[in-house]
């Protein structure tokens, strides 16, 4: 069983001690598309836990490094869109926005392409209301 399928704070704590977040961020930048998705999935599963959210948000350099990695992936998706992957990234942002300090920081650091409707035509074409709705939730949450 994949360890993050278990909702266990101890597993998350061990993964954080093993410095899995920097490894995931590296993969988000330099790995194959599949490995990028897996790394993003791991980050989401860690962020779902309060201990993971606090770990990321407790230090500005960690938070901004993750935001930079997410932003680079969003920009990449403007050239080769994937709703499944975009949804994972938006879920990361939404969870980060649950933290008050992170939410304030996201207000000025959310990628412009999420705010300006860049993905609207693509999502409309695919009739993907779920992803469009997630983007709208995120924009409202950080505004």
pTM of the model: 0.91
Task: Look at residue 2 and tell me whether its pLDDT is greater than 60.
Answer: no
Structural domains of the chain, ranges and CATH numbers in brackets: 3-142 (1.25.10.10)
- What is the 8-class DSSP label of residue 45? H
8 A C-beta contact, residue 92 and residue 109: no
pLDDT by residue (tens digit) across 50-63?
999 999 999 999 99
In the structure, what pLDDT confidence band is assigned to residue 35 with cuts at 50, 70 and 90?
very high
What residues contact residue 120 under an 8 Å CB cut-off, 6+ apart?
A: 132
The model's pLDDT over 38-94, given as tens digits with 9 standing for 90+, comes to 999 999 999 999 999 999 999 999 999 999 999 999 999 999 888 999 999 999 999
């Amino acid at each position: 069983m994949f360890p993050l399928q278990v909702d266990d704070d101890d597993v998350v704590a061990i993964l954080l001690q093993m410095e899995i977040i920097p490894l995931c961020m590296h993969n988000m930048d330099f790995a194959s598309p599949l490995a990028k998705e897996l790394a993003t999935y791991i980050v989401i599963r860690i962020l779902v836990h309060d201990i993971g959210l606090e770990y990321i948000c407790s230090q500005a350099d960690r938070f901004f490094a993750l935001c930079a990695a997410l932003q680079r992936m969003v920009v990449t998706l403007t050239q080769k869109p994937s709703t499944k992957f975009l949804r994972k990234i938006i879920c990361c942002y939404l969870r980060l926005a649950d933290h008050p300090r992170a939410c304030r920081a996201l207000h000025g650091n959310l990628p412009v392409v999420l705010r300006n409707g860049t993905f609207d035509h693509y999502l409309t074409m695919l009739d993907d209301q779920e992803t469009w709705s997630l983007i709208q939730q995120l924009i409202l949450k950080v505004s």
